[in-house]
A and B are shown apart, each in its own frame.
Chain A
């Protein structure tokens, strides 16, 4: 029953991210919405699966998936955000603070 609750919570986060990705206006805010199921939703679903299976090797595999996602999702999000900012795909009127505004423009080579 508890694993079911975890999985429903993870699926709810996925739905929230889907709505956010469709309704938010630019790349940066869409990225903010899309990160929810990538970290918390995935961890909740993996906890639910682990509570259902409860054997050592399976739980180790799930922990591997979770740790890998925790390590890689911020890297990918940072690269997407940097590419969006440097190529001017963000909406400057939506930013509260733009700390890179007066930085020297760098070549978008990476």
Chain B
């Protein structure tokens, strides 16, 4: 399991850094929204992996909250962006 932890941590960290790069550099607000959604999905994966490795379920409600939060924030920000561009 240790090998799996190391591999998954490295992959998710690299993906999160790339998403952060796009959030910082993204030319438009929509690019940042897409990258933020991606970052949130990566965070869900990381929290889930931690729960699986340590065999506990205390962080599982966080996953539910993150899933709901990602949907709500992206919809709200996209509506704001559409309003602003018109």
Q: Which of the listed residues A22, A49, A62, A107 has the most CB atoms from chain B within 10 Å of its own CB? A: A49
Q: How many residues of B contact A (CB 8 A)?
A: 51
A42 engages B41 (CB within 8 Å): yes
Known contacts A18-B17, A30-B31; is A110 also within 8 Å of B79 by CB?
yes
Chain B residues lying within 8 Å of A42, measured Cβ to Cβ, are 41, 44-45
Closest CB in chain B relative to A6 CB, distance in Å: 9
A61 engages B64 (CB within 8 Å): yes
For B34, give its contact among A7, A21, A46, A75 (CB under 8 Å). A21
Chain A residues lying within 8 Å of B34, measured Cβ to Cβ, are 21, 27, 30-31, 34, 80
Closest CB in chain B relative to A103 CB, distance in Å: 17
Report Cα–Cα, A75/B45, bound state, in Å: 21
B30 engages A27 (CB within 8 Å): yes
Which residue on A lies nearest to B86, using beta carbons? Answer: A108
| Chain A contact residues, majority secondary structure | helix
Residues of B that sit less than 8 Å from A by CB: 1, 3-4, 7-8, 11-12, 14-19, 21-22, 28, 30-31, 33-35, 37-38, 41-42, 44-45, 48-49, 51-53, 55, 57, 60-61, 63-64, 67-68, 70-71, 74-75, 78-79, 81-83, 85-86
Task: List 9 extra interface pairs beyond A8-B7, A27-B28, A76-B37, CB under 8 A.
Answer: A7-B52, A11-B11, A15-B18, A19-B18, A45-B48, A46-B48, A86-B85, A89-B28, A108-B86
